[in-house]
Amino acid sequence: MTTTQKQAIVNEIRLLSEKESQSKVAKKADVSTATISQMLNHNWDLIKDEMWQRVKINLRIELEWQTADTTNFRELSKLLNKVQSRGMSVCIVHNAGTGKSHTYKLYERTYENVIYIECKNYWTKKSYVKQLLQACGLDAFGTVECMIEKFIKHVKGLVKPIIIIDQFDKLKEPSMDLFMDFYNDLDKHCGFVLSGVPALKKRIERGCQNEKIGYDELKSRIGKKYIPLYPIKEKDVQAVCEANGVNDEQFINEAFNTCEGDLRRVRRSIDQYFLMQNA
């Protein structure tokens, strides 16, 4: 890892530490507070590249990618602000690759009292709760019940918090059911965003139709609505390309025509573009 890349990571750590504390940043990064302190103080000699990489990944730091002002980034950011300021609960459902997760991650880094997690298929109920605590910069140990109580107590102490549960559709039902408990304890104090692909809507609707326990309550708490995003247009692809150093009109047009509404494919096309340029 280059010195320039390390400095970029340190800059992000410093910004995050100003919002919270070095201790909480360390817990989110899954490293010791001493490591974070050494990074900030430029005592880098004994810090291995593997440690820098771990911090970069766990803090979701993008070194070589610039955020573009796409329609979905702009409108979703406005919605998140509204949800956080008003303590609302919403469910966002749209296809993969439209910029949902990228917007959530940047929102978390930009604003205070934002708790963001990206769910995984393999999580148990305990691992889910541990991830929630880690996202808060808290120690994650003890029984599931104790950790849940610790999480709720922490959120109650925050000013206008927002909890963003990305890829909510990947959670198993025991983990998904916890949303109702969180909502009941934090309603009007905390904003909630449940987010996923169209399979999330299908799962909730199927659960309601089959009268499975918890699904009617979940649907009620999100206002019985699923908020869609906007389809990707050529101006969005152009914004992404230009933000990341590509101004070739022919390339932009081709990237749009082949991306099938998926900005991840646009990113891969840009990576390939620079790979060919440097060949």
Distances in Å between the alpha carbon of 5 and those of 11, 15, 175, 180, 238?
Answer: 10, 16, 37, 42, 26
Residue where one domain finishes, among candidates 58, 82, 99: 58
pLDDT of residue 29: 93
Shared domain check, 248 and 195: no
Shared domain check, 120 and 195: yes
The answer on pLDDT for 205 being more than 80 is: yes
Give 120-126 contacts, CB < 8 A, sequence gap 24+.
120/167, 120/170, 121/170, 123/170, 123/171, 123/172, 123/175, 124/172, 124/175, 125/172, 125/174, 125/175, 125/178
> Could you give the percent of the chain with pLDDT greater than 70?
100
Shared domain check, 253 and 208: no
Q: Confirm whether 65 is domain-assigned.
A: no
Domain with 29, as residue range(s), is 3-58
Mean pLDDT for 188-203 is 96
The answer on pLDDT for 97 being more than 70 is: yes
Distances in Å between the alpha carbon of 240 and those of 164, 244, 245, 272?
Answer: 24, 6, 9, 15
Mean pLDDT for 103-129 is 96
Give the whole-angstrom CA distance, residue 78 versus residue 103: 11
Which tens digits make up the pLDDT trace of 39-51? 999 999 999 999 9
Shared domain check, 210 and 75: yes
Shared domain check, 191 and 104: yes
Q: Give 277's pLDDT tier (boundaries 50, 70, 90).
A: confident
Shared domain check, 171 and 81: yes
Shared domain check, 209 and 77: yes
Contact 221, 179 (CB under 8 A): yes
Mean pLDDT, the chain, integer:
95
pLDDT of residue 64: 84
Shared domain check, 212 and 89: yes
Give the whole-angstrom CA distance, residue 271 versus residue 277: 10
Shared domain check, 115 and 204: yes
pLDDT of residue 149: 97
Mean pLDDT for 156-170 is 97
Shared domain check, 174 and 266: no
pLDDT of residue 19: 87
The answer on pLDDT for 1 being more than 90 is: no
Give the whole-angstrom CA distance, residue 50 versus residue 58: 12
CA 230 to chain centroid, in Å, comes to: 19
170-197 exposure pattern, b = at least 16 Cβ within 10 A, e = fewer: bbeeebbbbbeebbebbeeebbbbbbbb
Query: What's the structural domain count of the chain?
Result: 3
Mean pLDDT for 132-142 is 94
The answer on pLDDT for 278 being more than 80 is: no
Tell me the one-letter amino acid at 91: C
Going by C-alpha positions, the residue among 47, 11, 16 that lies closest to residue 29 is 16
The answer on pLDDT for 83 being more than 80 is: yes
Residue where one domain finishes, among candidates 58, 79, 100: 58
Shared domain check, 190 and 122: yes
Shared domain check, 40 and 151: no
The answer on pLDDT for 257 being more than 90 is: yes
pLDDT of residue 279: 59
